[in-house]
Chain A
């Protein structure tokens, strides 16, 4: 059973701090990794994708990937109250022609003013 694990939280950080969200995955063959943000009552929104080991930065967001450790993380710098949401980690699996994502349960982030 291929799995993606995340701490459910809630993770609470003060405004302006760095929020660190972590995700581990079980399939060593996974090559594509995604972070989605989901506000309460809304659908998931893709915010970051990463495919190679190392860091990928986009504005206040940095995704970090370590395939040897099967670990992917999302850092949010200068956290804002508007970043309060659930963050979903998704990882690809390949099964022949079936390209699909395996999803974590999500980590709830609360940024306190």
Chain B
């Protein structure tokens, strides 16, 4: 079974630029999560999808972050415009509907200069 795929693995941008991350979950996993992880901290949930609907986006900075999962499979997370404090690892995870065990992709390390 293929794992969660993410791209790109690394991205360096200047502040005020935009960036997009892509995630393809494990086949058959209905629930998809985007997390932000700052060095030395646990993952912070940004947004949770169930199929193509948003279940929780309470911690998503909606003035600059957006995410979509149009066909209920892969997902994109966008930041526009980026700030220095957005430098972090962005993790995508997925799980079967109704379960809690989450499986993570390799992450995208974003550096904003």
Per-residue B-contact encoding for A2-37, CB less than 8 Å = 1, 0 else = 001000100000000000000000000000101000
Let me know if B98 and A100 touch, CB within 8 A: no
Least Cβ distance of B50 to chain A in Å?
7
Distance of A32 Cα from B100 Cα, bound (Å): 8
Q: Considering the complex, which residues of chain B in the window 18-42 have a beta carbon less than 8 Å from any beta carbon of chain A?
A: 31, 33, 40-42
Chain A residues within an 8 Å CB radius of B88? none
Q: Considering the complex, which residues of chain A in the window 79-104 have a beta carbon less than 8 Å from any beta carbon of chain B?
A: 88, 90, 92, 95, 97-101, 103-104
The answer to the question of A44 belonging to the interface, with a C-beta cut-off of 8 Å to chain B, is yes
Which chain A residue has the least Cβ–Cβ distance from B89? A43
- Identify B42's interface contact among A46, A95, A105, CB under 8 A: A105
Let me know if B101 and A46 touch, CB within 8 A: yes
The answer to the question of A57 belonging to the interface, with a C-beta cut-off of 8 Å to chain B, is no
Let me know if B101 and A49 touch, CB within 8 A: yes
Let me know if B41 and A105 touch, CB within 8 A: yes
Interface size on A, residues (CB 8 A): 23
Let me know if B55 and A103 touch, CB within 8 A: no
Let me know if A44 and B104 touch, CB within 8 A: yes
Which chain B residue has the least Cβ–Cβ distance from A45? B104
Distance of A62 Cα from B107 Cα, bound (Å): 28
Distance of A43 Cα from B23 Cα, bound (Å): 14
CB-defined A-B contacts under 8 Å, sample of 27 = A8-B40, A32-B100, A34-B101, A42-B106, A43-B104, A43-B106, A43-B107, A45-B104, A49-B101, A88-B42, A88-B43, A92-B100, A97-B50, A98-B48, A98-B55, A99-B31, A99-B98, A100-B45, A100-B48, A101-B100, A103-B42, A103-B44, A105-B40, A105-B41, A105-B42, A106-B40, A106-B42
Instruction: State the A residues within 8 Å of B (CB).
Output: 4, 8, 32, 34, 42-46, 49, 88, 90, 92, 95, 97-101, 103-106
